[in-house]
Amino acid sequence: MHGTLKGKHFISLRDWSNEQIDLLLDTSADLKRKHYMDVTTNYLPNKTIFLMFFEQSTRTRNSMEAGIAQLGGHANFLDTSTMQISHGEVAKDTAVILSSFGHGIACRYCDWGIGNKYITDMAKHSSRPIMNLQCDLYHPMQGVADLLTIKEKFPGGTKNIKISIIWAYATSHKKPVSVPLTQTLLFPRYGMDVTLAYPKGFELPDWVIEEAKENARIHGGSFKITNNMDDAFKDADIVIPKNWGSWSGKNPDVDINDFKDWKCTEEKMALAKDNVYYMHALPADRGNEVEDSVIDGHHSIVYQEAENRLHTAKAVMALTL
């Protein structure tokens, strides 16, 4: 790591080594302890980060705004519909100017085939680090928050934890593949036994599957795919039932309403281990993706997972800005 991560982009966890991610998690845990102890953490005094949003946000925007304030800095929230981007300004021009005004740029842009290309293009021209707040391919902020939560629940290590990433039915709004894609690539790097479950038509890109298998091989975990929801729940330590779209380029005409039975219920949870944990990046489509009795029940750790978005966001900024 050469002693510093200052200036490093945070676009995909594929660009961060396990050692760098471990440092990020250690920093997150330290910042979380200090937050609970009300210890001041002015590590970024007078630094400014620009937060560009092409879509709505609750956890991501507020974890970044609160986080930079708690680090002694300031965030400028930018609704891209009110920027010159809406009149055609290109990523290069926006990145060059904003990076000369402040100390970092963070962006959420989830349109398929566009978002990651836009954020990557900004990174080519920015003199400051670029942070991905979710694109069409990756959600690294969610990925590290999930990993921190898992490590908190399994202090003995993540090796051979059985974790299932499960497609679930939803109707609430467009849901990118970036969350399950990030988890599919990340969890095998920590030796977990990963199951990816979905009905036919909701496949992730082929390159993701091949990389996940290789990550499992290198790090001593396992990776498998099933089209049977019960198989994914059986004997699982952690389940993450969450919807994602069929717009990764395969079977775009699949009818989501054919799979209303892909729902996280108490009956499904009973197939898992007695002490199974239920996770979800939120917002959950209650009543469709999951029963209220599950998400509000004793197996659910969604609020711990959501809170960790603050601490991991602070760590990313503290280490890179």
User: Is 241 inside a domain boundary?
Assistant: yes
E-assigned strand segments in 70-204:
74-79, 104-109, 130-135, 162-167, 193-197
Whether 295 and 146 share a structural domain: yes
Contact 229, 258 (CB under 8 A): no
Pairing mode, if any, of strands 130-135 and 104-109?
Answer: parallel
Residue 226, phi then psi, degrees to nearest 5: -140, 150
CB atoms within 10 A of CB 231: 16
- DSSP codes, 231-253: HHHTT-SEEEEE---S-SSS-TT
User: Is 297 inside a domain boundary?
Assistant: yes
Whether 82 and 156 share a structural domain: no
What is the residue range of 124's domain? 13-139+307-320
Whether 175 and 246 share a structural domain: yes
Contact 88, 98 (CB under 8 A): no
Whether 238 and 315 share a structural domain: no
pLDDT tens, per residue, the chain with 321 residues: 556 899 999 999 999 999 999 999 999 999 999 999 999 999 999 999 999 999 999 999 999 999 999 999 999 999 999 999 999 999 999 999 999 999 999 999 999 999 999 999 999 999 999 999 999 999 999 999 999 999 999 999 999 999 999 999 998 766 899 999 999 999 999 999 999 999 998 999 999 999 999 999 999 999 999 999 999 999 999 999 999 986 545 555 678 888 999 999 999 999 999 999 999 999 999 999 999 999 999 999 999 999 999 999 999 999 999
Q: What is the CATH number of the domain that holds 313?
A: 3.40.50.1370
User: Is 4 inside a domain boundary?
Assistant: no
For the whole model, what pTM was predicted? 0.96
User: Is 2 inside a domain boundary?
Assistant: no
Whether 55 and 151 share a structural domain: no
Whether 52 and 178 share a structural domain: no
Phi-psi region for residue 283, left (φ > 0), alpha (ψ -120 to 50) or beta?
beta
Whether 287 and 155 share a structural domain: yes
Q: What is residue 177's three-state secondary structure?
A: coil
How far apart, in Å, do the first and last CA atoms of the chain sit? 16
Whether 298 and 166 share a structural domain: yes
Whether 91 and 195 share a structural domain: no
Largest Cα span, the chain:
55
User: Is 5 inside a domain boundary?
Assistant: no
Whether 296 and 152 share a structural domain: yes
Structural domain count, the chain: 2
160: amino acid identity, one letter: N
What pLDDT shows up at residue 250? Answer: 54
Gap between the Cα atoms of 183 and 174, Å rounded = 19
Pick from 287, 202, 310, 291: which is nearest to 239 by CA? 291
Whether 266 and 285 share a structural domain: yes
User: Is 300 inside a domain boundary?
Assistant: yes
User: Is 264 inside a domain boundary?
Assistant: yes
User: Is 1 inside a domain boundary?
Assistant: no
Whether 255 and 288 share a structural domain: yes
